[in-house]
């Protein structure tokens, strides 16, 4: 397993990596709302508002000298399956909100500030400029309704080598290829312990090394796993009601936080040799992983932290372009705990 993802990548590595990938397609970054545990109901009911927010002296997030995304970031969405216009609009507006500095605080651009505080060896910060580039639509499910980690790379290959429609540009320096699968598509390990992940494509499969992320719409398959707290699992009992989602679409509103998680991690660790904690680059613990399930002050363990309530009764924690969103916090390496724009003490 170790040989598959060593820190440095000589040319032959890619061939080996391709073969390894065929043999074991292990997730690099599973995302789930609850870190390593089922929520403890007692905890949720009586959680004291302590300053937890993931803080720990034991967490050693380190920089491993690899590149990060310091140039203007372009996100290339690949809409796989049947997406409605309104669903696309919610996701596009979230991505465009990242650099929309005029949103009312607490804002998505305020949330991105924590990500911007990460630098590379030269001291250059992660870019504050994130925008949407060319898009691809794959309404005919060209690689089927059940994708593996390998076939995901093939979907991206199709998008960057298309000949009957314009291919997506090749942008290995500051591109984020974002594969979004609609609610009737299953992806390997989806719903078990994974709601999304990021990695980079192999030249042996795609022809280029391109950082990419996948996020699935869990609306039909497992909203209580991947769209919590807009949907709540049965085992949590009657005391827990799902909260209303800010854009009236449980699956898509649930995806927003996962998309945020993956873009933040991809920007700080695009080739899985930059910012992560832990000794094992096969299972790096990244800036989003450290704050899974934390959306506000006091969050941690199994408590989401303090969120906000809109006039329409929806729950959210930040404002973007024309909309509200609920987005998990990310690890702040300066203060050594998770931070977000809706923190009560800032």
User: How far is the first Cα of the chain from the last one, in angstroms, to the nearest whole number?
Assistant: 43
Closer Cβ to ligand NAG, 60 or 139, answer by number: 60
User: Using the rule CB under 6 A, which residue among 119, 151, 209, 336 binds ligand NAG?
Assistant: 119
Taking the complex as a whole, how short is the minimal distance between the CB of residue 70 and ligand NAG, in angstroms?
A: 10
CB of 190 to ligand NAG, least distance (A): 27
Please give the Cα distance from 175 to 169 (Å, whole number). Answer: 9
Say whether residue 306 binds ligand NAG (CB under 6 A). Answer: no
**47-51: long-range contacts, CB 8 A cutoff, minimum separation 24:** 47/298, 47/301, 47/302, 47/303, 48/298, 49/297, 49/298, 49/306, 50/298, 50/300, 51/298
Closer of 10 and 48 to ligand NAG (Cβ): 48
Residue 125 near ligand NAG by CB under 6 A: yes
One symbol per residue from 267 to 286: x for binding ligand NAG (CB under 6 A), - otherwise; what is it? Answer: --------------------
Task: Report if residue 72 touches ligand NAG, rule: CB under 6 A.
Answer: yes
Neighbours of 167 (CB within 10 A): 14
Based on the shown chain and the rule CB under 6 A, indicate whether residue 40 belongs to the binding site for ligand NAG. yes
Of residues 74 and 231, the one with the C-beta less far from ligand NAG = 74
Show contacts with ligand NAG in window 324-343 (CB under 6 A): 334
- Which pair of structure tokens corresponds to residue 106? 């607490």
Q: Does 26 bind ligand NAG (CB under 6 A)?
A: no
| Smaller CB separation from ligand NAG, 56 or 161 | 56
The contact mask relative to ligand NAG for 129-168 (x = CB under 6 A, - = no) is x---------------------------------------
* Rg (alpha carbons) of the chain, rounded to whole number: 19
**Identity of the residue, 42 or 164, whose beta carbon is nearer to ligand NAG in the bound complex:** 42
Which residues in this chain contact ligand NAG in the complex, by CB under 6 A? 40, 42-43, 72, 116-117, 119, 125, 129, 334
């Amino acid at each position: 397993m170790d040989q598959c993802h060593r820190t440095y990548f000589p040319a032959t590595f890619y061939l080996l990596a391709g073969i390894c990938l065929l043999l074991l397609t292990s997730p690099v970054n599973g995302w789930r709302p609850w870190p390593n545990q089922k929520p403890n109901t007692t905890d949720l009911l009586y959680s004291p508002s302590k300053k937890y927010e993931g803080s720990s002296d034991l967490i050693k997030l380190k920089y491993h000298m690899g590149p990060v995304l310091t140039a203007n970031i372009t996100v290339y969405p690949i809409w796989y399956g049947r997406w409605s216009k309104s669903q696309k609009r919610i996701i596009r507006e979230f991505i465009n909100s990242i650099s929309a500095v005029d949103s009312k605080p607490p804002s998505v651009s305020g949330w991105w500030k924590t990500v911007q505080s990460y630098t590379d060896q030269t001291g250059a910060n992660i870019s504050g400029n994130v925008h949407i580039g060319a898009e691809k639509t794959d309404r005919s499910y060209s690689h089927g309704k059940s994708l593996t980690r390998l076939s995901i790379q093939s979907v991206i290959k199709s998008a960057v080598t298309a000949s009957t429609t314009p291919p997506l540009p090749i942008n290995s320096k500051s591109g984020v290829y974002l594969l979004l699968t609609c609610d009737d598509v299953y992806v390997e390990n989806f719903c078990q312990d994974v709601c999304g992940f990021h990695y980079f494509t192999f030249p042996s499969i795609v022809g280029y090394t391109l950082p990419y992320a996948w996020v699935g719409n869990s609306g039909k398959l497992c909203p209580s796993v991947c769209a919590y707290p807009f949907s709540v699992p049965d085992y949590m009992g009657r005391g827990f009601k799902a909260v209303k989602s800010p854009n009236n679409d449980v699956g898509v509103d649930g995806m927003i936080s996962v998309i945020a998680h993956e873009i933040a991690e991809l920007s700080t660790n695009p080739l899985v040799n930059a910012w992560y904690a832990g000794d094992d680059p096969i299972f790096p613990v990244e800036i989003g992983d450290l704050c899974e399930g934390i959306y506000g002050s006091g969050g941690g363990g199994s408590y989401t932290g303090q969120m906000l309530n809109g006039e329409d009764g929806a729950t959210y924690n930040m404002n973007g372009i024309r909309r509200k969103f609920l987005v998990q916090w990310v690890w702040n390496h300066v203060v050594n705990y998770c931070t977000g724009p809706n923190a009560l003490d800032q």
